[in-house]
């Protein structure tokens, strides 16, 4: 039997990391078992569902490199089938019409509560003869009251509940529209879903749905309920997948991170997509909820920034650089050199793009603290000499630059830092940059000399002050 799983988001907002994780576990389960991963857009909440959300969710899945095997099923297209099935169920005696209105229902529940009973539909309409005229009615599923439902959950293990805890839930509203619990069962059956992997919040629904599968003549799928993620709903907007993409996270890092959120494979931390497919197993899924920790995801991002092929990182960085409108940004040798210089120093692509500024633009000012610490009359004199020596350099290569600077430091009886920092400040405006010689090479000879000259000129007045 081919395993068929599905991810069934409601298109009412962005795909957040919790949803992405549910999708991922389904996708991994399918890929690991050579099964099929399907999508179902649960858009039956007409008021809140939007086309944009659907597009955004699909885009987020694609960005995370999850592919699906059939065109997504749009649940609203199944409307007729759901309605018809509900009525057929009434004919077969598996469901019944309920003419109670909201007010009598509320009254009933209130009475039950007052008597200390659990609120539950009392089936007053079960045997009621069909009233004359065309009174509106809902359709209720006739849930067995005897016995227990036991489900062997793939994550939780055996879970059970007594049938008398379950209510006769409404499957078709009085306005003629099917409800969630009914539509889910109908479509999972229709799609031939063999394994339902979803959030823990549906665990209790499972017992209700179980009976519906049987009444509809479907084989019940296996279930696996994933623990929820703590601390995500509060910041739902910022936790959307594309929000992290826009914050400069690589999809490899996000995927790796959410995979580890509630799932483990021994002590392993780093997983490529292929490794995840090979090693994923629902047995490794934790039973308890996990909290989202952006620091750890950032650490993973840094890991991928410094281990992915430099061409790959360059490709990802390019559009971010372009956004900043740095002049002369291109997929060239300079970009590659930048990636090499910056990848171990950046946590995100945004960090990297910020730090890359020096390669394209001269400093727009000089960090006062750094200037205070490193620039004085003597260093300005040294800078003038170094500038002159650099100008005379025949070959502006790594060895040549380094020996020139080191030699200068030695002659002046200074350590490298005392020489390097003032140069760094002139070139970048800051006391922080990649290694000085790399920085100089990236900037290029002419521009280095230009910036040194500018620096000496602009910093001189400040030195006169003290």
3-class DSSP state of 159: strand
List all residues 6 or more positions away from 15 whose beta carbon is below 8 Å from its beta carbon.
9, 23, 56, 57, 60, 61, 240, 241
Nearer to RNA, 88 or 410 (CB): 410
In the complex, minimum distance from the CB of residue 71 to RNA, in angstroms, rounded to a whole number: 19
In the complex, minimum distance from the CB of residue 266 to RNA, in angstroms, rounded to a whole number: 5
Rg of the Cα trace of the chain? 32
Three-class secondary structure assignment of 342-407: HCCCCCCHHHHHHHCHHHHCCCCCCCHHHHHHHCCHHHHHHHHHHHHHHHCCCCCCHHHHHHHHHH
Count of CB atoms situated within 10 Å of the CB of 230: 13
**% helix, strand, coil for the chain, step of 5:** 55, 10, 35
Q: How far apart are CA 271 and CA 252, in angstroms?
A: 9
In the complex, minimum distance from the CB of residue 2 to RNA, in angstroms, rounded to a whole number: 26
Cα dihedral 143/207/222/231 (nearest 10): 150
Residues labelled as active-site residues = 234
Positive or negative, the CA dihedral 189, 193, 195, 199 is negative
Nearer to RNA, 430 or 450 (CB): 430
Nearer to RNA, 202 or 408 (CB): 202
Count of CB atoms situated within 10 Å of the CB of 307: 11
Nearer to RNA, 167 or 447 (CB): 167
In the complex, minimum distance from the CB of residue 234 to RNA, in angstroms, rounded to a whole number: 11
In the complex, minimum distance from the CB of residue 222 to RNA, in angstroms, rounded to a whole number: 16
Nearer to RNA, 9 or 35 (CB): 9
């Amino acid at each position: 039997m081919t395993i068929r799983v599905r991810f069934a988001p409601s298109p009412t907002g962005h795909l957040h990391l919790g949803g992405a994780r549910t999708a991922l576990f389904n996708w991994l389960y399918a890929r690991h078992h050579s099964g099929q991963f399907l999508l179902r857009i649960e858009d039956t909440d007409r008021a809140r569902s939007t086309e944009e959300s659907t597009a955004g969710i699909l885009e987020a899945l694609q960005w995370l490199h999850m592919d699906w095997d059939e065109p997504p099923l749009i649940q609203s297209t199944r409307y007729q089938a759901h309605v018809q099935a509900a009525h057929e169920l009434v004919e077969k005696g598996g469901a019944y019409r309920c003419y109670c209105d909201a007010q009598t229902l509320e009254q009933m529940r209130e009475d039950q509560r007052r008597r200390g009973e659990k609120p539950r539909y009392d089936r007053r309409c079960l045997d009621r003869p069909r009233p004359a005229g065309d009174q509106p009615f809902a359709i209720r599923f006739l849930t067995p009251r005897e016995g227990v439902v036991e489900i062997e959950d793939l994550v939780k293990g055996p879970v059970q509940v007594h049938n008398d805890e379950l209510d006769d839930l409404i499957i078709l509203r009085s306005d003629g529209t099917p409800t969630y619990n009914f539509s889910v069962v109908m479509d999972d059956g229709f799609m031939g879903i063999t394994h339902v992997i979803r959030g823990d919040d549906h665990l209790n629904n499972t017992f209700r749905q179980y009976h519906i599968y049987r009444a509809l003549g479907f084989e019940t799928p296996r279930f696996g309920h994933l623990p929820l993620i703590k601390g995500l709903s509060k910041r739902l907007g910022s936790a959307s997948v594309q929000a992290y993409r826009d914050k400069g996270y690589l999809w490899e890092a996000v995927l790796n991170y959410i995979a580890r959120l509630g799932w483990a494979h021994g002590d392993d931390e780093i997983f490529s997509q292929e490794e995840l497919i090979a090693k994923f197993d629902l047995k490794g899924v934790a039973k308890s909820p996990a909290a989202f920790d952006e620091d750890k995801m950032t650490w993973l991002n840094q890991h991928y920034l410094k281990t992915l092929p430099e061409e790959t990182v360059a490709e990802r960085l390019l559009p971010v650089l372009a956004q900043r409108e740095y002049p002369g940004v291109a997929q060239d040798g300079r970009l590659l050199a930048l990636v090499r210089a910056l990848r171990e120093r950046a946590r995100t692509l945004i960090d990297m793009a910020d730090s890359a500024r020096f390669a394209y633009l001269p400093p727009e000012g000089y960090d006062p603290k750094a200037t205070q610490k490193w620039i004085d009359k003597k260093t300005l004199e040294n800078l003038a000499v170094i500038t002159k020596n650099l100008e005379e350099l025949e070959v502006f290569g790594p060895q040549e630059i380094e020996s020139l600077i080191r030699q200068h430091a030695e002659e002046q009886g200074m350590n490298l830092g005392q020489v390097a920092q003032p140069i760094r400040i002139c070139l970048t405006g800051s006391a922080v940059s990649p290694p000085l010689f790399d920085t100089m090479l990236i900037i290029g000879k002419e521009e280095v000399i230009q910036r040194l000259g500018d620096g000496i000129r602009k910093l001189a007045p400040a030195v006169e002050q003290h």
